[in-house]
Amino acid sequence: MSVEPHAATTRIRQSGLLRSQGLIGGKWTDAYDGKTIQVQNPATGDVITSVPCMGRRETADAITSAYNTFDSWSKLTAAERSKRLRKWYDLINAHKEDLALLITLEQGKPLKEALGEVAYGASFIEFFAEEGKRVYGDIIPPTLGDRRLFVLKQPVGVVGAITPWNFPLAMITRKVGPALACGCTVVVKPSEFTPLTALAAAELSLQAGIMPGALNVVMGNAPEIGDILLESQQVRKITFTGSTAVGKKLMAGSANTVKKVSLELGGNAPCIVFDDADLDVAVKGSLAAKFRNSGQTCVCANRILVQEGIYEKFADAFAKAVKNLQVGNGLIDGTVQWLFSFLLVSVVDNLHYTILFSVVHFYLYFPTLKTGAEFALNSFLGSQRKLEDFGWIYVSPFLADVDTKVRSGKLESFLVKVLQ
Among candidate residues 70, 53, 32, the one with its CA nearest the CA of residue 187: 70
Question: Please, are residues 393 and 288 in contact by the beta-carbon 8 Å criterion?
Answer: no
> How far, in Å, CA of 127 to CA of 299, rounded?
22
> How far, in Å, CA of 328 to CA of 197, rounded?
21
Number of neighbours of residue 152 by Cβ within 10 angstroms: 8
Kindly state the helix (H) or strand (E) to which residue 178 belongs, with its residue range: helix 170-181
> How far, in Å, CA of 188 to CA of 62, rounded?
9
Q: Is 83 helix (H, G, I), strand (E, B) or coil?
A: helix
> How far, in Å, CA of 168 to CA of 126, rounded?
18
The runs of H, that is alpha helices, within 96-166 are 96-107, 111-131
Cis peptide before 367 (omega within 30 of 0): yes
Cα separation values, 46 from 37, 88, 94, 340, Å? 13, 31, 28, 14
Number of neighbours of residue 28 by Cβ within 10 angstroms: 16
Gyration radius of the chain's alpha carbons: 23
Name beta bridge partners: 347.
353
Name beta bridge partners: 393.
340
Number of neighbours of residue 7 by Cβ within 10 angstroms: 11
Task: Concatenate the DSSP letters of all residues of 317-363 into one string.
Answer: HHHHHHHTS-BS-TTSTT--B--B--S---EETTTEEEE----EEEE
Annotation says 264 is catalytic? yes
Considering the candidates 224, 264, 308, 412, report the single residue annotated as catalytic: 264
Which residues belong to the active site? 264
